[in-house]
Structure 1
Amino acid sequence: MGKVLSFGELLLRICPDEDGQWLRENNLPFYVGGAEANVATALALWGVPSAYLTALPDNFVAEQLVGYLNSRRVQTDHTVYGGNRVGLYFLPKGKDLKNTGVIYDRAGSAYADLKPGIIDWDKVFEDVSWFHFSAICPAINQSVADVCEEALKVAVQKNITISLDLNYRAKLWQYGKDPVEVMPALAQYCDLIMGNIWAANKMLGIPLDEGLIANLDKESLEQHAALTSKAILEKFPKCRTVANTFRFDYQQGIRYFTTLLEAGSLYTSHEYQVEQILDKVGSGDCFMAGLIYGFYHQLPPTETLEFATAAAFKKLFIPSDATTTTVAEINDTISAYAN
């Protein structure tokens, strides 16, 4: 197997607390972020040959960021240098990216300025067997969406496996198109699509049965996951695997489980429940990385799903965008919660 290449915008996440303590202390925490970068660093940590492609300005900040990725064993040989700035986003501590409090500062970034023809995809895809991107990329503007399609067409020609994370970020889709007008054209190239039943509805036009999921009980959610997954396979014949995540916040804590439709069978993970967590950001990226890890190593579907789910669950206790949990620690978690 060749490398796994993840494509997306490298970001800095700025984390002001909600009561303004950062102003009084003159201290503003930040983390290196970006959904696809989180996937790339997780895979590298777990021993999978991992590369990452982004665009950055040619300055010392970009140099340090690339050095950081390299220190995490992520290959960055094809980084596109140009433009004026690194993308930022602001998110209060403990919140997730679906929270209304998220503030994006990404307009005019080096990545947002990408256009078709800039990247030599034939060269980029040398020694690559898996290509990963997310719906965050085409959410930025039409030009980046066109770059994504440009990449996907070349990847298909080279028989590279393609995965898509249906990350829905309402605040990013601001260039006059709804996701459902853009995403199906990209999803048609993909072999593995991950998201949830609500994102599939919003971004791919897959029907949502509100009555079936009104009570959010596990049996009904599993049933809807099966319906959504099969609808995706029917709509996008190239796709052969669909995964869904279910994470709910309650007063008593977090409830989390996932499903995987593979070769006509629906698998459901162990359900994790916990009272307190540290950081929601990057959990879905960890799940995506776990799926890639399992399929890359040709693990059985049940093992792949449990590994990915445990990796995502462990990320909830890590105060950064990227995971630091090892394969051994993830397997220990699976064993501990299975009993």
Structure 2
Amino acid sequence: MKKVLTFGEILLRMSPELGGAWIGKAAIPTYIGGAELNAAIALAKWEVPVAYCSAMPQNALSQEIKDELIRKNVNVDAIQMCGERIGIYYLPQGADLKNAGVIYDRAYSSFAGLKTNQINWEEIFKDVSWFHFSAISPALNQDAADLCLEAVKAAKKAGVKVSVDLNYRAKLWKYGKEPIDIMPGLAQYCDLIMGNLWAANKLLGISIDPQIAVNNATKEEYLAEAIRSSKEILAKFENCTYVADTFRFDHGTEGISYYTTFFAEDKLYVSPHFIKDKVIDKVGSGDCFMGGLLYGLYNESPYQDLIDFAAAAAIGKLNELGDATNQTKEDVLAILENQSISNK
């Protein structure tokens, strides 16, 4: 049975309590994560064969992490054991990765030190149907960007479909290149491009209506823009078959308003519109959504079922502490069922 392969930097997330409470307690909750690993763990939880390619130093801590991933049914054979350290990021509890609260400590990590011609892609891509990466990796340095290009080219040569998450982290693009200099060259090899209207504009140069750009639109206008933007992406990147967008807005002081779209075969599929009054942990929701998309494509689900499942999985992740989801398929389907009942 063929598997999904995800590729990116494994990270440790340190989540101190705000206000300095962590100092007195001498304790900071630590989570194993990284965008691509989060997607892999979701797929494994939903019984999709999945492997993860990253890099870690050869030491006891790395082995404990590998053992944990194996327990979660993630194949770790492709992890490169090299370099000196695992990357870390600090995110205060309750904060969002996209805000200024995140502090990165990723320089000179094992993953950031990877070079082209170091990974045997031909061997790794045996029995792989989908390869997933995100825009976070090429943001690290030129070597990482070159490695991503090497990987997607090898994937296409092996007949493997490619997906990309247009994650944008402004604090990471510090090596003299802008996303627009790198990402279009990678996107041309992708079968699925996931992000949002704003990321597509920033990373791929896809046009955006000025009113949309400042979050000044109705839902109907956002959906119309999703259709237009998706068609522009498909025209610009001829290998692309699917485009997915997320729409996440603040709701009250602690909640969110959330819906998603999937464009395929000249039609826009729209998920249920979820409203959550309170969020436990914002990290990893988009990764869980990505996992849901790959779950649906891997299982050849009808497109409406695919986008409904992916959106519900993302909403469910907001109720969980940590970077990766622990939801079962049944948990996600229960969210959809409850949403359907509440809309009646």
TM-score interval (norm. to shorter):
over 0.9
| Map 1:166-185 → 2, pairs under 5 A | 166-185=166-185
Cα pair 2:244 2:261 within 8 Å, conserved: yes
Mind listing any 5+ residue stretches in structure 1 that lack a counterpart?
A: none
Q: Which residue of 1 aligns with 2:97?
A: 97
What is the TM-score of this pair, normalised by structure 1? Answer: 0.98
Q: Which residue of 1 aligns with 2:327?
A: 325
Q: Percent identity?
A: 50
Q: Output the CA distance in 2 between the equivalents of 1:126 and 1:217.
A: 46
Q: Output the CA distance in 2 between the equivalents of 1:27 and 1:80.
A: 30
The alpha carbon displacement at 1:211 in A equals 2.0
Closer/same/farther in 2, CA of residues 181 and 120 from structure 1, 3 Å limit? same
Q: Output the CA distance in 1 between the equivalents of 2:229 and 2:56.
A: 37
The alpha carbon displacement at 1:210 in A equals 1.8
Give the 3-state SS of the residue equivalent to 1:113 in structure 2: coil
1:261 aligns with 2:263: yes
Query: How many residues are matched?
Result: 339
Q: Which residue of 2 aligns with 1:215?
A: 216
The alpha carbon displacement at 1:226 in A equals 1.1
Give the 3-state SS of the residue equivalent to 1:63 in structure 2: helix
The alpha carbon displacement at 1:136 in A equals 0.4
1:289 to 288, 291, 299: 291
Q: Which residue of 2 aligns with 1:140?
A: 140
1:104-133 deviations in Å (ceiling 9; x for gaps)? 100000000000010000011111111000
1:18-39 deviations in Å (ceiling 9; x for gaps)? 2111111111111001000001
The CA RMSD over aligned residues, in Å, is 0.9
The alpha carbon displacement at 1:94 in A equals 1.4
| Map 1:193-212 → 2, pairs under 5 A | 193-212=193-212
Q: Output the CA distance in 2 between the equivalents of 1:161 and 1:279.
A: 31
1:111 aligns with 2:118: no
Closer/same/farther in 2, CA of residues 278 and 158 from structure 1, 3 Å limit? same
Q: Which residue of 2 aligns with 1:336?
A: 338
Q: Which residue of 1 aligns with 2:236?
A: 235
1:67 aligns with 2:90: no
Cα pair 2:128 2:160 within 8 Å, conserved: yes
What is the TM-score of this pair, normalised by structure 2? Answer: 0.97
Q: Output the CA distance in 1 between the equivalents of 2:140 and 2:62.
A: 20
Q: Output the CA distance in 2 between the equivalents of 1:60 and 1:121.
A: 26
Q: Which residue of 2 aligns with 1:250?
A: 251
The alpha carbon displacement at 1:215 in A equals 2.6
Give the 3-state SS of the residue equivalent to 1:243 in structure 2: strand
The alpha carbon displacement at 1:216 in A equals 3.5
Whichever residue aligns with residue 177 of structure 2, its letter is: K
The alpha carbon displacement at 1:305 in A equals 0.2
The alpha carbon displacement at 1:212 in A equals 4.3
Give the 3-state SS of the residue equivalent to 1:211 in structure 2: helix
Closer/same/farther in 2, CA of residues 13 and 302 from structure 1, 3 Å limit? same
Q: Which residue of 1 aligns with 2:24?
A: 24
Cα pair 2:192 2:241 within 8 Å, conserved: yes
Cα pair 2:11 2:86 within 8 Å, conserved: yes
Give the 3-state SS of the residue equivalent to 1:69 in structure 2: helix
Q: Output the CA distance in 2 between the equivalents of 1:80 and 1:103.
A: 25
Q: Output the CA distance in 2 between the equivalents of 1:212 and 1:85.
A: 41
Q: Which runs of 4+ in 1 moved over 3 A?
A: none
Mind listing any 5+ residue stretches in structure 2 that lack a counterpart?
A: none
